[in-house]
Amino acid sequence: MSTHDPYTHSQVVIIGAGFAGLACAKGLGKSGITVTVVDRRNHNLFQPLLYQVATAALSPADIAEPVRRTLGRYDNIRVLLGEVVGIDSTGHRVLLKDGTSLPYDDLVIATGSEYNYFGNDGWKPFAPGLKTIHEARLIRHRLLSAFERAERATDPAIRKRLLTFAIIGGGPTGVEMAGAISELARQMIHHDFKAINKNEVDVLLIEAGPRILAAFPEKLAAYAHAYLTDIGVRVLTGRSVTKIDADSLSLGDERIETSCIVWGAGVRASPAARWLGVEGGQQGRIPVEPDLSLPGHPDIAVIGDTALATDEDGKPLPALAQVAKQQGEYVADRLRHKLTGRTHTAPFRFHNRGNTAVIGRNAAIFDFGSWTLKGRMAWFLWALVHVYLLVNFEKRLLVSIQWITRYFTRQRSARLIDENHGRDDDTSDPPDKPFENPPAAGG
């Protein structure tokens, strides 16, 4: 057992500095509780806008901030850069990769999720997801490089492959990426590329299920499908990917050559269940008590995408930022009660503020449960909500200015190719033959 008295010198360790971890840490700021936040990255990241980094609408610094800066104003909170590899729940210690450990009286696990390749982890280098800045920059590099190479390519087969982009998964991430890539292509070709015709660009959105946006009402999914089709996205439903390699993917017997593949087909929880020696539930998430504690371990809370919490009807809560943030605030309140010796008996209740996805310029959808919204008004509401959720005023101002500028100019300011970034899977294309009978300019 811990040697600390939790009511006089409570030491809380929070694993993870995402939405849930930061909300919990902020809630414990200036509380008199000693808090240690440990994360393997030194920055927090607003993942809902990561697709805009991948499509050159925003820079990484617009949606990321050092964790130390976010929590620096709280004297009782210490931030550590480290990778957790295990948890000793008997000895009350968090085990780190460098061989050290952190003691705790109360532990909060907020380690988030990662993309699930369903046993095909070898696909990951060729089809990165959208969870990290590195992945977003890699996708941006592949997208922009494909247009640059297509501008000088003379072989029709090479041009077709370079201008074919595939997004796997028809959830919000896939829909947002497909719409953003299509708009990026049309805008760049109209303004900057003289040898590419916009009709050559082929953006594929591939979904194994019967329709895209399965978590939304069917009428909103139908609206999104129609809008994507109208801006040039080919939506392929009921099709499963069977193979991915360096320059193609296969849908059964059909092989499609492509220069850029983005994975958004499913997520799984972090390995926290394995650390604790418990059996994970749906998507590897850890079942929790109504107060978000681990069954049999009231000193361990599991929140965010890692937790398998349920609503009043027993349905699993979705892996959304608003769920994670509310859970972090709830656990912080429960721990503050514990510090003062009071009992916190109210179970966690999620207050749904709507589920949303943006599809393109002036087009988004909102599902509030009892009513829905789509089109331009939903798009403005989506923008307001996402600006509000950014970590501080500086980020809100920067993103707002860039969005307003982009809305009127239709230009993207982050179209930079890092010549040293490269394709980390070493699958770069051989040089195309430049400037030999270049095709006619397109519009």
pTM: 0.87
Sign of the CA dihedral with 271 first, then 272, 273, and 278 last = positive
pLDDT tens per residue, range 129-184: 999 999 999 999 999 999 999 999 999 999 999 999 999 999 999 999 999 999 98
User: How many Å separate Cα 421 from the centre of its chain?
Assistant: 21
Q: Tell me, what's the pLDDT at 421? A: 57
**Does residue 176 have an active-site annotation?**
yes
Contacts of 314 (CB under 8 A, 6+ apart): none
Q: Which of 30, 27, 34, 29 is nearest to 9 (CA)?
A: 34
Q: Are strands 101-103 and 363-367 parallel, antiparallel or unpaired?
A: unpaired
- The rounded distance, in Å, linking the Cα atoms of 289 and 309 is 8
The residue whose two tokens read 């990321």 is 64
Contacts of 333 (CB under 8 A, 6+ apart): 27, 344
pLDDT tens per residue, range 258-276: 999 999 998 888 899 999 9
Contacts of 26 (CB under 8 A, 6+ apart): 71, 74, 332
* % of the chain surpassing 90 pLDDT: 69
pLDDT tens per residue, range 188-232: 887 888 899 989 999 999 999 999 999 999 999 999 999 999 999
pLDDT tens per residue, range 76-91: 999 999 999 999 999 9
The residue whose two tokens read 């901030």 is 65
Q: Tell me, what's the pLDDT at 5? A: 40
Ramachandran angles phi, psi of 210, nearest 5°: -70, -20
Q: Which of 151, 176, 200, 207 is catalytic?
A: 176
Q: Tell me, what's the pLDDT at 395? A: 83
Confidence of residue 313 (pLDDT cuts 50, 70, 90): confident
pLDDT at 317 over 60: yes
Which position has the higher pLDDT, 70 or 339? 70
- The rounded distance, in Å, linking the Cα atoms of 283 and 266 is 9
Q: Tell me, what's the pLDDT at 427? A: 41
